[in-house]
A and B are shown apart, each in its own frame.
Chain A
């Protein structure tokens, strides 16, 4: 089945640690996105990529990094510089006008 797979579903980060959230899609979509969602809030864009080997910062990129070495994959690293990383992270992809989402990763700080 085609779709977007995010892993892990739950992730815990220790202080000072970098963690990486995985996002893989087999929809053959060019564009991929990372959003952050805080409790009771809307979605805020962290990074997006329209093509392989290129990506752009969104509204809240500080403390995060990404790579886009393959069309199918767009991993997000939450670095130790992100002081408030606890949130729900959603990966998405699009071709034409629709946005398709993965099932999300809940990141919490130990």
Chain B
């Protein structure tokens, strides 16, 4: 079974600085998707960024970028120019490709709580 590990329960960053959140996963599959979700105090889960495993190029969405190391099964999230609104729980998630047969296809890590200091 696939597992997702986030080894940093809490992180903090100064406003305008850069922070990197770590995520590792375990899978025997070669084709899958990886995601970072943000959960602010409102508790609404918001998709931040996604990566397709067959693409070598790292995904980028404005100030958010990932470092995807497929061989190492590592998927870190870099937040540049951190803003107060970035303070939230961040969850790393793994998804297998869609299948016709049933199978649990999303697995979430335990989360990293990010604080942004003014």
Contacts and interface: CB of A to CB of B under 8 A. Distances in A.
A88 B110 contact: no
Nearest to A95: B98
Interface stretch (A14-22, A39-47, A72-80): A39-47
A99 B42 CA distance: 18
Interface of B: 33, 35, 42-45, 47, 50, 52, 91, 93, 95, 97-98, 102, 104, 106, 108-111, 113
A99 B110 contact: no
A42 B107 CA distance: 10
A8 interface: no
A97 interface: yes
Interface core residue of A92, A101, A103 (most chain B CB under 10 Å): A101
B106 A33 contact: yes
Interface residues of A, number: 24
Contact of A97 (B42, B95, B109): B95
A50 interface: yes
Contact of A103 (B44, B91, B110): B44
Contacts of B108: 35, 42-43
B106 A41 contact: no
Contacts of A103: 42-44
Contacts of B104: 45, 48, 56, 58-59
Contact of B102 (A56, A98, A100): A56
B45 A90 contact: yes
Nearest to B42: A103
Contact of B47 (A43, A96, A98, A104): A98
Contacts of A50: 102
Interface in A85-110: 88, 90, 92, 94, 96-101, 103-104
Nearest to B111: A42
B88 to A, nearest CB: 13
Nearest to A37: B43
Interface core residue of A48, A56, A58, A99 (most chain B CB under 10 Å): A99
Contacts of A58: 104
